[in-house]
Amino acid sequence: MKREPVHPVFGLVDRLRSAVRTGRRLHLEPEHVNVLMSDEIYLALSRLEARQMRSMSVPEPESASSSVTSGSGKGRASSRGTSAGLNGVPMDAASRGASQLLRKEVALTLRRKKRSMHSQSTM
């Protein structure tokens, strides 16, 4: 009887449960990382990250200085600008940047693993 291939999500969930049960680190294979990078899961993680980032930021109180005209003198700006030292990157842009960086790291990890496996098989 031919055995069907097992989807990597099952291995990921098994490892996750084991890490929770034992209190040890979660070690993932590249195929497990690919599951985490799937659209559904990564979107949920990005939303959770954004929610946590928003809850950590403290809203600035409105002050008299925020209504002062600045810039070219054409009147009050419709929105507040960013000051030096403040993060002016919108949350969704930060998540996209993090997503791109993580995808590059996954691809690099997969290439390294392939090279490693190839070099072991040629020995």
Is residue 23 located within the same domain as residue 42? no
How many domains in the chain?
Answer: 2
Q: What is the pLDDT of residue 23?
A: 95
Domain holding 21, by residue range, is: 1-30
Is residue 51 located within the same domain as residue 96? yes
Stronger pLDDT, 64 or 111, i.e. the higher one: 111
Where residue 91 falls (left for φ over 0; alpha for ψ -120 to 50; beta otherwise) is alpha
Q: What is the pLDDT of residue 121?
A: 62
Q: What is the pLDDT of residue 6?
A: 87
- Where does the pLDDT of residue 8 fall: very low under 50, low under 70, confident under 90, or very high at 90 and above? very high
The answer to whether residue 67 is domain-embedded is: no
Tokens of 111: 């290439």
Q: What is the pLDDT of residue 18?
A: 95
The answer to whether residue 112 is domain-embedded is: yes
The answer to whether residue 76 is domain-embedded is: no
Quote the CA–CA distance of 58 and 60 in Å, as a whole number. 6
Residue 82 scores a pLDDT above 50: no
- Calculate mean pLDDT across residues 83-112: 66
Is residue 26 located within the same domain as residue 41? no
Tokens of 44: 């949920």
The answer to whether residue 109 is domain-embedded is: yes
What's the pTM value of the predicted model, to 2 decimals? 0.43
- Where does the pLDDT of residue 92 fall: very low under 50, low under 70, confident under 90, or very high at 90 and above? low
Query: What confidence tens digit (pLDDT) does each residue in 25-37 have?
Result: 999 999 999 999 9
Is residue 101 located within the same domain as residue 123? yes
